[in-house]
Amino acid sequence: MRPSHYAFAILGLLPCALQAQTEVEPNDNITQANFWPENTPVSGTSCYTLGGTLDQDWYMLVPSEEGKITVTATASNNTTGFYGVAMQFYQPDGTTLMWNTGVTSNPTPVTSEISTYCFPNDTIYLNVYVGLDHCEYYTMSYIMTPPAFADDAEDNDDLSSAIPLTQNTWTEGRLYFAFDDGDDYYSVVLPQSGRYVQTVEATYQSDGGMNGGINAQLLDINGNLAANLGAQLGADTILTTVNEVVCAGPGTYYVHMAWSGNGCGIAYRLKWELQPTIFGNDPEPNNTASVAIPLLPDVPQEGFLGDPDWYKLFKPYSGDLQLTVRGAFMATSTGNMVVQVFNNAQQLIYNGSATPGQNNVPSTTLITVPASIPDSFYVQVFNNSLDCASYELSYASEYVGIEEQTGMHAMTIVPNPSPDRFIFQSQVQGLSRIQITDVEGRLLMDQKLNGDSYFTWDASDLHAGTYIARILTLNGTTSSSRLVRIP
């Protein structure tokens, strides 16, 4: 992390008596620096003799935290005028950490306070010296004020060292504290498709000279930009930014945290959340007929439309192929899903569409494809818009018509298939009794009636599948019909 700006301010002047000197000589260069603990006063003398020598003092600091360093110093001089003690901070290699600052002095003691931002919690050195022909007597101590959020686990400066983020869990970090590292990288694994929501809370310790924000970029598995999700910064206050990617596919992503302005000393925390599509991902790859996924009868297959999806099925009965498609867009869209059916020779025999619901709420489309004999078919599903869509695809194991009956009694059942309610209506005699069983003969409902001409059955609490209805009329005739409960 490399600072581009530092700030300091003299906050006040108060009279104070000097303490006995604590500096240990010689401490005239960086290799002789006295160790200076945090919150511990030190005192010394620095003199400059015109045409002679400069007696400068060096101190070594090891702050317990990153953040703002505040030095309180009391100084006086051996002249009759207004002078001061100069101070300059250095890195361990002797490189200047901040520009020259200092505290004022008079013949009587003067107390001053300076604050400097973006300091690391690494070893730093302070050089205390005077100019002109006089001596300065000083006593000083310092404290560190840490940022609002803790530091991230280093080293996470590139993709290879990215720190994994857990969903709905805050992770804290810092950017650009003096000569520490710069950008931060994190990894995110989305188990399925959906809406990616990223929340960043960020602040900096104000020095009056910063501007800009945080570039919280979402990168794909190859490090390419997937979405630029910026975040605001508050000066000594925390600002919250929530961004989202409406349609994010499954896989590994990276979050790149970087400073986008001029300044230093940023603290942040971030978390992410996946609001999944209502239907899960289809097995990949299945984007061509050659890798089509087998579709089993009465077994719904979920999928997400990032690229075209192909399926292969076998219709074992004579009669039309009946497909049920339930689909939903992640947000609001005016598009639809294209459904194409091909025969076993991969010739197109049906080209239609299914209309998904909005805002992740599914809607159902029933598709009938003319096909008189048992045969194999291919089904391709793709999205004709750029919106995020998921779906569920199924087909019945047996042909089901709107009217199907045995016996002398004619009966109508509408709607059939149905996602919830079936209405039974006798075309000749009143109804005496209705029984519903599953395909294995287990009795699910047995209802006695009083000669009514119609009856409504609510099947919303049952699983999707095929059921058998048996009806007895008042004159003793019976009939049966197959019912299909769709999701």
Q: Is 140 helix (H, G, I), strand (E, B) or coil?
A: strand
Question: What pTM, to 2 d.p., does this model score?
Answer: 0.69
Residues whose CB is less than 8 angstroms from the CB of residue 443 and which lie 6 or more positions away in sequence, other chains included: 435, 436, 437
Among all chains, which residue has been given the structure tokens 């294995």?
440
Q: What is the structure's pLDDT at 479?
A: 74
Phi (first) and psi of residue 38, to 5 degrees: -65, 145
* Nearest-angstrom CA–CA distance, 127 and 150: 29
Selecting from 2.60.40.1930, 3.90.550.10, 3.30.530.20, 2.60.40.10, what CATH number does the domain 411-485 have? 2.60.40.1930
Tokens of 165: 């983020």
In degrees to the nearest 10, what's the CA dihedral of 363, 369, 373, 378? Answer: -80
pLDDT value at position 364?
85
Q: Where are the beta strands (DSSP E) in 280-430?
A: 293-294, 301-304, 309-315, 321-329, 337-342, 348-354, 363-369, 375-383, 389-395, 411-414, 421-426
Which has the closest alpha carbon to 467: 430, 426, 434? Answer: 434
For domain 159-276, give the CATH number.
2.60.120.380
- Identify the pLDDT of residue 200: 96
The boundaries of every CATH 2.60.120.380 domain in the chain are 30-145, 159-276, 289-395
Radius of gyration of the chain (CA): 38
Residues of the chain with CATH 2.60.40.1930: 411-485
Sequential pLDDT tens for the chain (487 residues): 333 333 333 333 333 334 468 999 999 999 999 999 999 999 999 998 776 678 899 999 999 888 889 999 999 998 887 888 889 999 888 888 765 578 888 899 999 998 888 888 889 999 999 877 889 999 999 999 999 999 888 789 899 999 999 999 999 999 887 655 579 999 999 998 899 999 999 998 876 456 667 889 999 999 999 999 989 888 888 999 999 998 888 899 999 999 876 667 889 999 999 999 999 888 889 999 999 999 988 889 999 887 899 999 998 877 788 898 999 998 887 788 999 999 999 999 999 988 898 999 998 888 888 887 888 999 999 987 656 889 999 987 765 544 444 443 456 787 888 888 888 877 666 788 888 888 767 788 888 887 777 788 899 888 888 888 888 777 777 777 788 888 7
As a whole number of angstroms, the distance between CA 469 and CA 483 comes to 7
CB 379 within 8 A of CB 325: no
Place of tokens 């192909």: 310
Provide φ and ψ at 40, rounded to 5°: -125, 120
Torsional sign, CA 180, 183, 189, 190: positive
CATH class, range 289-395? mainly beta
Residues 6+ apart with CB under 8 A from 356: 327, 328, 329, 333, 336, 337, 362, 363, 389, 391
Answer yes or no: are the C-beta atoms of 381 and 302 closer than 8 Å: no
**DSSP 3-state of 66:** coil
Q: Which fold has domain 30-145?
A: Jelly Rolls (2.60.120)
- Side chain identity at residue 481, one-letter code: S
